């Protein structure tokens, strides 16, 4: 994968939380690169720093020191407002709690970011239809989240994450609330999108089923990279 573009570059990143009586060093000099088309799992015990790392890569948190480049842009140089705009167009998010808007249909949830980007309706409709069919829900476009199973809601969340054609998708424990069948189905879809469309996925997970599917496993412990294994 040496010829692939680097979509995420993390250079000597430290993160210390000072809100507590005793400062907590969540990350201690993490350096790594994620290249286009990778299917990577970041793993580690609770408190290891993996969620902090994911949040910093996604621009949801800022490092105490170090550099984060996403698609060549240094996130630390962006104002809060510019960072929000950058996240909308460059980073797709999938959370364990789905985070769908309950009053919107599946279609409306998927196209929401494109609406914020002022994408023309015809293009929104076409992209949404393609994505809903890609995740196997072409016939559920007009259902609200409450009318969908947990696995179906998470597939809508994946379609939503892909809608703005991001540089990569961050998935934070995406299978945590799913049964075995829904997990297998979701991972099949993500794997297919990765292999056929070259979409880059970065997971934070405890789930061995996700780890088994990943082609790269980065283990974080005590805020440091313990191992980085490509299969």
Q: Is residue 33 part of a domain?
A: yes
Answer whether residue 19 shows pLDDT above 90. no
CA 4 to chain centre: 19
Check: CB of residue 65 under 8 Å from CB of residue 223: no
Q: What is the mean pLDDT of the chain?
A: 93
pLDDT given for residue 21 in this prediction: 87
Q: Is residue 191 part of a domain?
A: yes
CATH of the domain at 135: 3.40.50.300
CA 6 vs CA 30, 32, 35, 42, 73: distances in Å: 16, 10, 4, 17, 11
Check: CB of residue 25 under 8 Å from CB of residue 16: yes
Using DSSP's 3-state secondary structure scheme, residue 227 falls into: strand
pLDDT given for residue 171 in this prediction: 94
- 204-217 tens-digit pLDDT: 998 999 999 999 99
- How many distinct structural domains can be found in the chain? 1
pLDDT given for residue 2 in this prediction: 53
Task: Tell whether the torsion through CA atoms of 34, 158, 80 and 49 is positive or negative.
Answer: negative
Within the chain, strands assigned E span: 6-17, 24-35, 39-43, 65-70, 73-74, 91-95, 168-172, 201-204, 216-221, 224-230
Q: Is residue 220 part of a domain?
A: yes
- 49-88 tens-digit pLDDT: 998 999 999 999 999 999 999 999 999 899 999 999 999 8
Domain hosting 214: range is: 6-230
Q: Is residue 158 part of a domain?
A: yes
């Amino acid at each position: 994968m040496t010829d692939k573009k680097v979509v995420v570059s993390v250079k000597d990143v430290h993160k210390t939380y000072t809100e507590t009586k005793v400062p907590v060093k969540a990350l201690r000099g993490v350096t790594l690169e994620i290249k286009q088309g990778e299917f990577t799992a970041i793993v580690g015990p609770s408190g290891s720093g993996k969620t902090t790392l994911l949040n910093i890569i996604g621009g949801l948190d800022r490092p105490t020191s170090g550099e984060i480049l996403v698609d060549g842009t240094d996130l630390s140089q962006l104002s809060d407002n510019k960072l929000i705009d950058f996240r909308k167009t460059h980073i797709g998010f999938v959370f364990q709690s789905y985070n769908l808007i309950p009053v919107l249909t599946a279609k409306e949830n998927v196209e929401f970011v494109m609406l914020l980007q002022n994408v023309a309706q015809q293009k929104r409709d076409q992209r949404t239809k393609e994505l809903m069919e890609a995740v196997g829900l072409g016939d559920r476009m007009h259902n609200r989240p409450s009318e969908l199973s947990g696995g179906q809601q998470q597939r809508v969340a994946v379609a939503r994450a892909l809608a703005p054609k991001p540089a990569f998708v961050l998935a934070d424990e995406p299978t945590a609330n799913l049964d075995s069948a829904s997990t297998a189905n979701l991972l099949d879809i993500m794997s297919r999108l990765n292999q056929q469309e070259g979409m880059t996925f970065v997971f934070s997970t405890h789930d061995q089923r996700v780890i088994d599917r990943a082609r790269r496993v980065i283990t974080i412990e005590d805020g440091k990279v313990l191992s980085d294994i490509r299969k």
